[in-house]
Amino acid sequence: MSSKPTPDIDRTRRAQAQAQPNIALIKYWGKRDLALNLPVVGSLSITLESLWTRTAVQFDPALDADTFLLDGRRDDGQLRRVAKCLDLLRARAGVDYRAKVESSNNFPTGAGLASSASGFAALIVAGNAALGLNLSLAEQSILARRCSGSAARSIFGGYVEWSCGTRADGTDSLARPLLDADAWPLRVVVAITSKKEKAIGSTEGMNRTADTSPYQQAWIDSQEADLVTARAALAQRDFEALADISEHSCLKMHALALAAKPGLLYWNAATVDCMHRVRALRAAGVPVFFTIDAGPQLKAVCEPQAAAAVAAALREIPGVLDVVETGLGGPAQLIAAHQQVAA
């Protein structure tokens, strides 16, 4: 047993929160501090609407270990990461209660659909409420960042920028909202080309890249200009400018990762076919562009009137297993909270 003081009036403290994944248009790839999970570059993303993670956390002095259930099944593989996140929350609250975490996703986990972003954002929001921490959104974004970098952005809705920051302690490396979802209601059509978990997760992939890719420094040096271009495209609602800079950032991230040793190849044949299809649609005047993360799914971002045609075109491609369409969504939110105080 730990010797930390634990107030004995509370029995269980629980809360449930929902967060949506976000998709980076200007990508995060690479860390400047592994322990604090600080990035080497800033990034810019859109938060989705209809894909979600719902996470319930219950801190209970009667538990002697943390447990993690994903979609109803114990997931001991992810437990260490979840427990690390719980440790950050416990340290802020000055308690040492173990917790039971139950999470569910309405989309495949770990296949490049940003489940760690929505998962850890939901856990931080739920944990903050369960432990009565009253953390600001900025502090929640910082804590979420420490659990998974992209989770810092899923605290917010719409268009979001996560600053690289320069401080060694990471207090200036957090996300902030740039534009509400309603201010520019683009849509995202996700072509699912595999439902398997990816072989090399983002953390391992970006560390291998930093250690072995000859393009790492060029990636870092060119990021700020991409962020400037993307911010201007947002401010002007300039779809073509956003399309060009987003595809550039995606392809540059993959080029960097492809050049690692051994090279990281996240695409399958259907992913590449989808890329060509999206390019052909755009050349024919359809307002759509693609982006791809550390997995084989392709996300096509388009103007609302083009979504049905984009979805139909991607559905036709051999190897596309499913197509999911979504708008842009809001911030992570609390669904329920309960702090029981003993009589």
Q: What string of H, E and C letters represents the secondary structure of the chain?
A: CCCCCCCCCEEEEEEEEEECCEEEEECCCCEEECCCCEECCCEEEEEECCCCEEEEEEEECCCCCCEEEECCEECHHHHHHHHHHHHHHHHHHCCCCEEEEEEEECCCCCCCCCHHHHHHHHHHHHHHHHCCCCCCHHHHHHHHHHHCCCHHHHCCCCEEEECCCCCCCCCCCCEEEEECHHHCCCEEEEEECCCCCCCCCHHHHHHHHHHHCCCHHHHHHHHHHHHHHHHHHHHHCCHHHHHHHHHHHHHHHHHHHHCCCCCCCCCCHHHHHHHHHHHHHHHCCCCEEEECCCCCCEEEEECHHHHHHHHHHHHCCCCCCEEEEECECCCCEEEEEEEEECC
- Of residues 47-66, those binding ligand DP6 (CB under 6 A): none
Q: How far is the CB of 119 from ligand DP6 (least distance, A)?
A: 10
Q: How far is the CB of 148 from ligand DP6 (least distance, A)?
A: 3
Contact 256, 216 (CB under 8 A): yes
Question: Structure tokens of 175?
Answer: 């996300």
Q: CB nearer to ligand DP6: give 95 or 189.
A: 189
Q: How far is the CB of 213 from ligand DP6 (least distance, A)?
A: 14
Q: CB nearer to ligand DP6: give 306 or 332.
A: 332
Q: Which of 116, 173, 213, 246 is in the footprint of ligand DP6 by CB under 6 A?
A: 116
Q: How far is the CB of 325 from ligand DP6 (least distance, A)?
A: 20
Q: How far is the CB of 236 from ligand DP6 (least distance, A)?
A: 23
Q: CB nearer to ligand DP6: give 16 or 150.
A: 150
- Of residues 137-166, those binding ligand DP6 (CB under 6 A): 148-150
Binding mask 65-104 for ligand DP6 (x = CB under 6 A): ----------------------------------------
- Of residues 293-312, those binding ligand DP6 (CB under 6 A): 293-294
Q: CB nearer to ligand DP6: give 220 or 306.
A: 220
Q: How far is the CB of 64 from ligand DP6 (least distance, A)?
A: 28
- Of residues 181-240, those binding ligand DP6 (CB under 6 A): 202-203
Q: CB nearer to ligand DP6: give 148 or 246.
A: 148
Binding mask 18-47 for ligand DP6 (x = CB under 6 A): ------x--xxx-------x-----x----
Q: How many residues of this chain bind ligand DP6 (CB under 6 A)?
A: 14
Q: How far is the CB of 212 from ligand DP6 (least distance, A)?
A: 17
Binding site for ligand DP6 (CB under 6 A): 24, 27-29, 37, 43, 116, 148-150, 202-203, 293-294
